[in-house]
Structure 1
Amino acid sequence: MTALRPRITLDRPWLEFDLGAPMQVLSWALDRPGLVRARRILWREVRNADLPQDLDVGAWLADELAARGAEDAVTFLTSRDIRAHDIASARAGAVQAQAVATVGLSNAERVGHRVDRTGHDWGTINVALHVDCGLSEAALLELLAIAVQARTAAVMDVNLPLAPGRATGTGTDCVAVAAPQGAGQYAGLHTDAGEAAGRAVYDAVLAGARCWMDTVRRPEDTSLRA
């Protein structure tokens, strides 16, 4: 068992989740997607002016990461004000999990449908999860599924209505899960890893979604818009 010593550092426009040691990270992030080895997961806050239509976003982000000395990081892009990030921890048995989430729902979708968002700002949900138990590659895949399930449950529980039905996520969500490499073969809902991970992700995304919903319902408060 690896001691859980992740650290979260806000250095706007960056948010850094230092995992405490290099470990396996699985995601579909823009930078270093797939199964990689990394010590940190980053968010880069962007605005429309940062990303003109003809920009090569991948090359731009690579330059930004190089300037920060962070080419090794798994990296999200988000239009959410990263000051609004939410952190949640949970323990089940011997497993500790920690999740960090930024939540914007301005391009919310219901799975199986698409809403025309032409001309609108796009928000997103980005979630990073760390568990402190050693997992196999297969178990890490299962952990990613649990994290996505927890994110969806949280979004559904804030009850954001769309024409096709209640929102289940956004069109640009991304999730990254991290764990030490080890012998654990399972991380489903019946396991300590799955329970701790699911609760941490659910709590972080729910807090972020509620914050976003409250912000939208108070138009005079624009400090945390996305």
Structure 2
Amino acid sequence: MNRLTLDPPWLCLDLGVEMPVLSWAVNRPGLAHARHILWREVRNADLPVDLDVGGWLGRELAARGAQNTVCFLTSCRIAAHTQATATADGVTAHAVATVGLSNAESVGSRLPPATHGWGTINIAVQLDCSLTEAARLEVLSIATQARTVAVMETGLRLATGIATGTGTDCIAVAAPAGALRYAGLHTGVGEAVGRAVHQAVRQGAAAWLGTQTAREVQHG
């Protein structure tokens, strides 16, 4: 369905052809048409408070000739990305995720910014079926549910409650335009998307937590 290329500090998902991509990514948010979805790895020090992040990323993308791509920013190690594929009722969903929880939050509350870094969860989901705009929105909601469940299953507790995501998560859904109207939990689309995203995020979260545990053992 797609091709994933790691070229640090970039990770590139080739969708095969240009298609509608719905996201709230830093570059080309909303409903865009794109052939590629990119991740750009950054360090916390690369993003000072007064930085025009959009302008900086635009220049970085221009240097690659990639201004028209949908692009995430993450301080996670992109080499540690995870992916999962699931099929239901003949519909296949492929999810690629970078997962860090140093920026974790519990929904409905906020931690002071100084208490965490900028680890985040960025997920791209590609479907091999054609969707209406309404179905695309519904897929986005299913992917968000799956991410939240996977994070909660880690049992990571914050001062404000159990972690449900991070303060800077982003999800992108890519699928051709078409007539499929429904994509909820009762449908094959919803099942495939939910399972693929859940598996990718759960695997990434477990790896991130393992890294933190190892660091604590090493320096504790």
What's the TM-score, normalizing by structure 2?
0.96
SS at match of 1:29: coil
Give how far 1:119 is off: 5.7
Give how far 1:122 is off: 1.6
Give how far 1:115 is off: 1.3
- 1:31 aligns to 2:27 (yes or no): yes
- 1:170 aligns to 2:166 (yes or no): yes
Structure 2 CA distance, aligned partners of 1:221 and 1:190?
44
Equivalences for residues 95-134 of structure 1 within 5 A: 95-118=91-114, 120-134=116-130
Aligned residues: percent identity?
A: 64
Structure 2 match to 1:11: 7
Give how far 1:68 is off: 0.5
| CA RMSD in angstroms, aligned pairs only | 1.3
The structure 2 residue matched to 1:208, chosen from 204, 215, 218, is 204
Pairs aligned (count)? 218
SS at match of 1:183: coil
Give the letter for the 2:113 counterpart: R
Q: Runs of 5+ in structure 2 lacking a partner? A: none
Structure 2 match to 1:46: 42
- Structure 1 runs (4+) deviating above 3 angstroms are none
Give the letter for the 1:109 counterpart: E
Structure 2 CA distance, aligned partners of 1:192 and 1:110?
30
Q: Runs of 5+ in structure 1 lacking a partner? A: none
Give how far 1:56 is off: 1.2
Q: Deviations over 1:72-112 (max 9, x none)?
A: 11000000010110010000011011000000000111100
The structure 2 residue matched to 1:189, chosen from 185, 192, 209, is 185
Asked if structure 2 preserves the Cα contact closer than 8 Å seen for 1:215 and 1:221, the reply is no
Give the letter for the 2:105 counterpart: E
Give the letter for the 1:111 counterpart: V
Asked if structure 2 preserves the Cα contact closer than 8 Å seen for 1:28 and 1:175, the reply is yes
